[in-house]
Amino acid sequence: MKYIFDPKSVALIGATDRAGSVGKGLGINLLQGKRDIFFVNPNRKIVLGLKTYPQVRDIKQDIDLAVIAVPAKIVLKIVKECAKKKVKAVVVISSGFAEAGAKGAVMQKQIQAFAKLSNMALIGPNCLGILRPLTGLNASFAPLTPRAGGMALISQSGALLNSIIDASFNKSYGFSAIISYGNEAGLKLTDFLKWADNDSETKVISLYIEGLRNGREFFEIAKNIKKPIVVLKGGKTKTSQKAVSSHTGALAGTAKIYSAAFKQAGIFEVESIEQFLDISKALAWQAKCENGIGIVSNGGGVAILTADYCDKYNIHLPDLSFAMPKKWSQNNPLDIIGDASSEDYELAINSILKQKNIHGLIILQTVQIMTDSLKNAKIIIEAKKKFKNKPIITAFLGEKNTREAIEFLEKNKVPNYSDPLRAVEAMRALIE
């Protein structure tokens, strides 16, 4: 795996400077990293300002990783050349294999067999590639290199990854790795699961899957993974299942069976991309907690909504047992009312977190004329330092008057959500 995620040298086979091509996108991304990059294309002498080699064997230096982006019909030939060069690992970006029908499936089996015989790690075919932001590796045709963080994002769909990467540009969360494994002719989803579980940078494993080639193996391994796993499953309906086999050559299977198995294996299943990222962020940044949380709010309506959502997900709200100002609601959720000062928030937050049967806290803030959002955010971060084992999730509502405070919260790894429902769903994940 070290040759995949932190290679000293990378060869791009199929490098080109043709506008809008995968080969150009891969080349631009690879050149952003601080490692030796070599371009291979017998029809070009220079690509993106770099000398281009006719074949991989013409490169004098040893190659740790080769990225292959050539037509499917010549991929086997290129893989054989990589084996002769003793390349340690190959990523086959090219499509047109098992997902394209019987002829493609035969070619895929040939590549698979040869890579195995040569003891060469194979990723793909039909994939976006591999990203490891921490080491500056972007061996993919993603639109940009995202920031480093604690989320290992592993997906059967490359296009979905592209969109998530692009959407993450102005967000606070980051990735330990982004892995598009495609048709799994070589390394499998389970191989990457085990790698992520042992990776010190990874705090949560986030999966998008459509189908599994070996369901029993997956679930047996997933049960023993120490880190939290979040999954978004595609192909749940008869209509979408028809599309799955033509996408990655996998079988979708019955949604209810998958959901039951996910639950047994301790995998947290989500229903949308937004929920996928919301919950992954919370699990990457916050400690798990027992059932029993507190809610503090400067608005009664939003507190009531949050209590309703907690009831929906069977989240227990213990009674509060400390002395508090008479004007407050005296209940959990604790409404410290609309004119709440930052000092009110500080008193409420610290008093709730001191209570032994409160294991986590959701802090709600509505925008009032007297609200100091940034000061409130700083109070929350100080509380987080004092109560390290009690997760804090916020829902600072609004936009213009809360933007700076939200950025401060998330910079300090307190997840904020624009809707209290999203905050409750994130807390539910930490409990479950």
pLDDT at 248: 52
pLDDT per position as a tens digit, 66-84 = 999 999 999 999 999 999 9
Predicted confidence (pLDDT) at residue 291 exceeds the cutoff of 80: yes
CA distance between the termini of the chain: 31
Which of 128, 127, 166, 163 lies closest to 146 in space, CA to CA? 166
3-state DSSP percent of the chain in helix, strand and coil, to 5? 40, 20, 40
> What are residue 365's DSSP bridge partners?
396
The pLDDT of residue 122 is: 98
Over residues 245-279, the pLDDT tens digits come to 454 555 556 888 899 999 999 999 999 999 999 99
Overall average pLDDT of the 290-312 stretch = 97
Q: What confidence tens digit (pLDDT) does each residue in 420-429 have?
A: 999 999 999 9
With bands split at pLDDT 50, 70 and 90, how would you rate the model's confidence at 17? very high
Query: Between residues 122 and 253, which one has the greater pLDDT?
Result: 122
Residue 348 has pLDDT above 60, yes or no: yes
Tell me what pLDDT residue 249 has.
55
pLDDT for the residue 247: 46
Average pLDDT over residues 357-381: 96
pLDDT tens-place string over residues 349-366? 999 999 999 999 999 999
pLDDT tens-digit series, residues 141-175? 998 999 999 999 999 988 899 889 988 888 899 99
Q: Model confidence at 242, in pLDDT bands (50, 70, 90)?
A: low
Q: Is the pLDDT of residue 118 over 50?
A: yes
CATH numbers and ranges of domains, the chain: 1-126 (3.40.50.720), 127-285 (3.40.50.261), 287-431 (3.40.50.261)
Lowest mean pLDDT among 163-177, 333-347, 366-380: 163-177
pLDDT-above-70 percentage for the chain: 96
Helix (H, G, I), strand (E, B) or coil at 78: helix
192 Cβ contact partners less than 8 Å away, ≥ 6 residues apart = 152, 154, 179, 181
Q: Name which of 122, 245, 246 is nearest 184 in CA terms.
A: 122
| DSSP-based three-state secondary structure for 270 | strand
- The pTM of the whole model exceeds 0.85: yes
Burial class (CB in 10 A: 0-12, 13-18, 19+), 389: exposed
Q: How high does pLDDT run on average in the chain?
A: 94
pLDDT at 405: 97
- Map tokens 């509380």 to a residue: 383
At 173-214, the pLDDT tens digits run 999 999 999 999 999 999 999 999 999 999 999 999 998 888
| pLDDT mean over 28-41 | 96
Q: How confident is the model at residue 235 (pLDDT cuts 50, 70, 90)?
A: confident
Cis peptide before 333 (omega within 30 of 0): yes
